[in-house]
Amino acid sequence: MTKGVRASLLWLGALMMVGGLMCGCGGTKHPVVPVKGRVVFEDGKPLPVGTRIILEPVDPDRKPATGEVKDDGSFELKHSGGANGAEIGKYRVRIAAPANDSQNFFQMVPESYAEGNELMLEVKPDSTEVTLKVRRKNPS
């Protein structure tokens, strides 16, 4: 292989790598910020472990993010592209039952939360910690 061909191949490889970085291969169009928080009933008690939080973007140019509730009611969101957090923007919040307990879950939580009709969240560059409050289906 001649020096000219080798240099051309190196140049082409460098261009392809830069082009891949610029197109964002698997990245996002909008900044992703870390988002964590708690999801609790209005009385402050946490929702069941494994409850899933789904952020459905209002703007179709954004991607969803999801998280799962831990025993203390805390969660951390993960962007659908794999990054930790969510893109800056407005979201409908859906709350889904833990994978193994949908029957009991919807005796406590109105199904309208699963439909995304109850909660909205705006992710801002500085709003990385949030608290979501959920009303009980049959308050006692």
Structurally, the chain folds into a number of domains equal to 2
- Domain-located, residue 140: no
Going from the C-alpha of 14 to that of each of 6, 21, 70, 73, 94, the distances in angstroms are 12, 11, 44, 47, 43
pLDDT for the residue 101: 81
Q: Burial code of 99-126, b = ≥16 C-beta within 10 A, e = fewer?
A: eeeeeebeeebbeebbebebbebebeee
Q: Is there a single domain that holds both residue 50 and residue 4?
A: no
User: Residue 59's domain is classified under what CATH number?
Assistant: 2.60.40
- Domain-located, residue 139: no
- Per-residue pLDDT reduced to its tens digit, 102-139: 678 888 999 899 988 899 999 999 877 899 999 998 76
Q: Is there a single domain that holds both residue 45 and residue 103?
A: yes
Higher-confidence residue of 6 and 85: namely: 85
Q: Tell me how far apart the alpha carbons of residues 41 and 46 are, in angstroms, rounded to a whole number.
A: 6
Q: Is there a single domain that holds both residue 50 and residue 82?
A: yes
- Domain-located, residue 96: yes
Contacting residues for 11 by C-beta, under 8 A, at least 6 apart = none
Question: Residue 65 CB: number of other CB atoms within 10 A?
Answer: 26
- Per-residue pLDDT reduced to its tens digit, 29-61: 889 999 999 999 999 999 999 999 999 999 999
Q: Which of 3-7, 8-12, 118-122 has the highest mean pLDDT?
A: 118-122
Q: Is there a single domain that holds both residue 44 and residue 112?
A: yes
Q: Is there a single domain that holds both residue 108 and residue 122?
A: yes
Q: Is there a single domain that holds both residue 22 and residue 36?
A: no
Which range marks the domain in which residue 6 is found?
A: 1-26
Q: Tell me how far apart the alpha carbons of residues 25 and 122 are, in angstroms, rounded to a whole number.
A: 26
Q: Is there a single domain that holds both residue 80 and residue 104?
A: yes
